[in-house]
Amino acid sequence: MAKKIDGYIKLMIPAGAANPSPPLGPALGQRGVNIMEFAKAFNAKTSEMEKSVPIPTVITVYQDKSFTFVIKTPPASYFLKKMAGKKSGANHPGREVGGTVTMDQCREIAELKMADLSANDVEQGALIIAGSARSMGYEVTG
């Protein structure tokens, strides 16, 4: 018989840096999940990734307090900031330019994020990433 799902927890956790401090500890503690067990499993699964990369994680908590989790690809904004060599987007997107990225860089990001994008091919994914870049105040060239 399948386990009954108690709920889902969606968190952004730095790769290889899960620990019981907020926001992870209180979010898991509320549901009665063993925090250290999750932290060890998450850190083991993300040990190959670059440290402190923000990883969107969906944790499924079952009624018997067990859990499973799915890690997704880092957000597009993380990759865009990395490609543009900036720490953040523009302070006033639409009125000022915070940096520039090329369509080739958008394609490269789309290839990395293809599993999490709602696009049929890489070209459509690149357009989604270009839209994210514009909303951050970046200029998209070429």
pLDDT for position 94 = 86
Q: Is 98 helix (H, G, I), strand (E, B) or coil?
A: coil
How does pLDDT run across 85-124, given as a tens digit for each residue?
Answer: 999 999 999 899 999 999 999 999 999 999 999 999 999 9
Identify the CATH number of the domain in which residue 80 sits: 1.10.10.250
Q: Distance between CA atoms of 64 and 103, rounded to whole angstroms?
A: 48
Task: Indicate whether 80 and 67 sit together in one domain.
Answer: no
Task: Indicate whether 136 and 85 sit together in one domain.
Answer: yes
Number of domains in the chain: 2
Predicted structure pTM score: 0.87
More confident residue, 119 or 142: 119
Task: Indicate whether 64 and 116 sit together in one domain.
Answer: no
How does pLDDT run across 30-87, given as a tens digit for each residue?
Answer: 999 999 999 999 999 999 999 989 999 999 999 999 999 999 999 999 999 999 999 9
Task: Indicate whether 102 and 81 sit together in one domain.
Answer: yes
Query: 128 lies in which domain range?
Result: 76-141
Cα angle value 117/90/97 (rounded, 5°)? 100
Secondary element (H or E) of residue 30: helix 24-31
Say yes or no to pLDDT of 1 above 80. no
Nearest of 85, 67, 64, 54 to residue 27 by alpha carbon? 67
